[in-house]
Structure 1
Amino acid sequence: MKTKKVLLLLSNGFEAYEASVFTDVLGWNKQEGDGSTEVITCGLRKELKCTWNFTILPEIQLSDVDVTMFDALAIPGGFEEAGFYVDAFSEEFLSVIRKFDQEKKIIASVCVGALPLGKSGVLKGRKGTTYHLNNGLRQQELAAFGVQVMNQPIVVDKNLITSSCPSTALGVAFTLLEMLTSADNCRNVKNLMGFYPPYNTTN
């Protein structure tokens, strides 16, 4: 079975939870599911600090990425106050997004991770969503990039997955897994992770 490689593209100021759903869901699939997925972390810096000061060392630098070696791109959101948009709106970051889309590869984003998709131009004229609270400020920003903003938790437009807030992160990761593998395999991984059937607390 061919390994499906996912590039987890991290901006400085990313939200650790939104990144961890990809490593966990796709990691569970690698170990307990059909075994086909592998996640590679990537960033513009040798050391990245998330919104809440959790620090990671990405496995590769963005300048070393060969898009042809990957099957999908995953982008968690982050906080402006933590510097998220400095990396996420950089030309190098946006260029990789465009290359994945040109190759019709899956791009999965969580929350404001949709905004670099919008700024890159890949969402122009297409459906998407992003953080919906705070008076819809981020959705207005996404609309300004020519995106048809949908008030839905998760929006899939062909190869692009966007979502509205951190609570949708696991749903995005499972949507990505299903698109990379199959609905049956995704259900199996969900079951193994305890999402259903409902956890029985009785003895």
Structure 2
Amino acid sequence: MKKVLLLLSDGFEAVEASVFTDVIGWNKLEGDGTTDLVTVGRKEKLKCTWNFTVIPEMHISEVNVDEFDALAIPGGFEEADFYEDAYSEDFLDIIRQFDKAEKIIASVCVGALPIGKSGVLSGRNATTYNFVNSKRQKQLSEFGVNVIFNEPIVIDKNIITSYNPSTAFNVAFKLLEMLTSKENCNNVKKLMGF
């Protein structure tokens, strides 16, 4: 079984997290059955950007990276305190451990910013939120990242980044393809109506 760690911060965007739970879940039930997902956070309860509460299955302090095959990070809003958790040392350390082990790291929108802050994207290609005068893309470049401005999804070795919420499903499907196969991913897409 391939396990995905869905790393959640206070203020994350639910739609960006739900694509991972749904695509991995659909694969577990209707696809090749080889994937599972565990939600992880720094707190017992996390408040999403638009105010509903999520209870992660595991606390970040309990994570053993060796038990997982991939990491998924949804973005969120600064106004909802996304960066307080996402820029914390334990959050960044999880990212570093996954990259050191050359495991897949998939992010949506500003989920790329903690990856950049962790240092693992230094000198590599990536993207992040692409509107509001590219403020977030400028922030990503300040972490030493080669920002690709006009590509919706950028893959550099084991790291997938994307430039806004509209890319979320495609990131989740790319993660599934990398964990399983293109054929299996296309089957799950078809079953989900894509």
| Same-fold status (TM-score > 0.5) | yes
Q: Percent identity?
A: 68
> Which residue does 1:86 correspond to in 2?
84
Matches within 5 A, 1:14-29: 14-29=12-27
Matches within 5 A, 1:4-15: 4-15=2-13
Which digits, 9 at most, give the CA deviation of each residue in 1:54-94, with x for residues without a partner? 10100000000000000000000000000000000000000
Q: In the aligned structure 2, how far is the partner of 1:189 from the partner of 1:55?
A: 28
Q: In the aligned structure 2, how far is the partner of 1:101 from the partner of 1:134?
A: 30
Structure 1 residue 157, shift from structure 2 partner? 0.4
Q: In the aligned structure 1, how far is the partner of 2:134 from the partner of 2:192?
A: 33
Larger Rg: 1
Structure 2 unaligned blocks of 5 or more: none
Which SS does the other structure have where 1:81 is aligned? Answer: helix
* RMSD (CA atoms): 0.4
Matches within 5 A, 1:163-182: 163-182=162-181
Q: Letter of the aligned partner of 2:28 in structure 1?
A: K
Q: In the aligned structure 2, how far is the partner of 1:113 from the partner of 1:103?
A: 20
Matches within 5 A, 1:129-148: 129-148=127-146
Structure 1 unaligned blocks of 5 or more: 196-203
Which runs of 4 or more aligned residues in structure 1 lie more than 4 Å from their structure 2 counterparts after TM superposition?
none
> Which residue does 2:187 correspond to in 1?
188
Aligned length: 193
Q: Normalising to structure 2: TM-score of the pair?
A: 0.99
Structure 1 residue 191, shift from structure 2 partner? 0.5
Q: Letter of the aligned partner of 1:7 in structure 2?
A: L
Which digits, 9 at most, give the CA deviation of each residue in 1:19-46, with x for residues without a partner? 0000001100000000001000000000
Which SS does the other structure have where 1:132 is aligned? Answer: coil
